[in-house]
Amino acid sequence: MRIIQIFAFVAALCVSTLVRAQDESQAVNRSQYASREIAPDPSVNNCTNQPHSLAQMKGNLYRWVGGPGGGYTGFVLTSPEGALVVDAGGTCNARWLLDEIKTQLKVPVKYVILSHAHFDHIGGAQVFQQAGATVISQKNALEPIIGDKLPTAVPDRVFENQMKLTFGGENAILYYVGPSHSNSMTLVYFPTYKALQCVDVCEAGRALPFNDFPDFYYEGFIATLDWVIKQDVDTINTGHGMGTKEDQQVARDYMINLHDQVLALVRKGEEWDHLYRDVKFTDEQKKYPNYDANHILNILGMYRYVSEHHRGVW
């Protein structure tokens, strides 16, 4: 009898943990931010040179392309109950996308997922919120949105590790793996379509990561790419283009190799002036379209990270 009771208790504990793991989201008391200071919105005035489209990928999964220069993208999952949109791409883009979903898909926007708290991807989310959408982010996004006075929506709900959304016969699962590019990166998985939104950590094709790794956490970046590579996914939206799992394996190997090279050079006592000339790139990497723009900046970002996480003999 005792054993049965213990078993029942453990089973109940497992079920409750499972339920919590499915949706551990919390409502944000937005009223406390009602009079928050908001920085001027740079994405509201210049709507020219924003070529845009909303195109079907597979079944109810679509993807928007737009934002400045048409350089931004996010998935849209539609259903009879409304659409889920990943990111907003600025206020001009959000206004266009809200109308486009209404006319093309004939549904309202039900959910907007903020991939991470960087303005260039999430600016404009207030357009959807004002039209009735629920805005969701990882909980760490709240602080920079408020603290940096970002002109976007304050999320309605935040989650910690995982959140499942089921609506109109469709599913999306939000995951937080760890700090990577920002400490609020949400990976949005669409299991029915084997599709994943992985913004600014994943690469679209063979390319070097952006610039000097702004808002960068090395260990979590690698852990996030390792997590992506393990998922049952064949389409990855990077927020700027489309990539494959193979692209992420290449990106991961590059990042580790760069880290190991820079660390070895720092340990040799090399200062920046020599160090950046001594990092080796493969012939293949030298042919990447963004090699010229990014390779020195990538070394700089890694040099900064390694220097801050290295002590030596003292």
Query: CA 29 to CA 210: how far, in whole Å?
Result: 35
Least distance between Zn ion and beta carbon 145 (Å): 13
Of 289, 90, 299, whose CA–CA distance to 211 is shortest? 299
Measured from the CB atom, is 25 or 182 closer to Zn ion? 182
Inter-CA distances, 268 with 298, 301, 306, 314, Å: 20, 19, 13, 16
Measured from the CB atom, is 162 or 186 closer to Zn ion? 186
Measured from the CB atom, is 216 or 281 closer to Zn ion? 216
Query: CA 244 to CA 233: how far, in whole Å?
Result: 8
Measured from the CB atom, is 87 or 200 closer to Zn ion? 200
> Stretches 21-29, 51-59, 103-111, 113-121: which one binds Zn ion (CB under 5 A)?
113-121
Measured from the CB atom, is 118 or 252 closer to Zn ion? 118
Least distance between Zn ion and beta carbon 310 (Å): 25
Of 60, 61, 116, whose CA–CA distance to 87 is shortest? 116
Interaction between residue 118 and Zn ion (CB under 5 A): yes
> Stretches 14-22, 72-80, 114-122, 255-263: which one binds Zn ion (CB under 5 A)?
114-122
Interaction between residue 200 and Zn ion (CB under 5 A): yes
Measured from the CB atom, is 200 or 247 closer to Zn ion? 200
> Stretches 92-100, 117-125, 221-229, 265-273: which one binds Zn ion (CB under 5 A)?
117-125
Interaction between residue 87 and Zn ion (CB under 5 A): no
Strands 162-167 and 170-175: antiparallel
Measured from the CB atom, is 82 or 239 closer to Zn ion? 239
Least distance between Zn ion and beta carbon 312 (Å): 32
Least distance between Zn ion and beta carbon 181 (Å): 5
CB atoms within 10 A of CB 29: 9
> Stretches 47-55, 60-68, 110-118, 225-233: which one binds Zn ion (CB under 5 A)?
110-118
Interaction between residue 245 and Zn ion (CB under 5 A): no
Least distance between Zn ion and beta carbon 152 (Å): 13
Query: CA 245 to CA 253: how far, in whole Å?
Result: 13
What's the CA angle centered on 297, arms 295 and 299, to 5 degrees?
Answer: 75
Least distance between Zn ion and beta carbon 115 (Å): 8
Decide: residue 106, CB within 10 A, 0-12 exposed, 13-18 middle, 19+ buried. Answer: exposed
Measured from the CB atom, is 82 or 209 closer to Zn ion? 209
Name the residue with the smallest CB distance to Zn ion: 118
> Stretches 54-62, 71-79, 199-207, 284-292: which one binds Zn ion (CB under 5 A)?
199-207
- For the chain, what's the residue count? 314
> Stretches 55-63, 116-124, 227-235, 240-248: which one binds Zn ion (CB under 5 A)?
116-124
Site residues for Zn ion, 165-184, by CB under 5 A, read: none
Residues that bind Zn ion (CB under 5 A): 118, 200
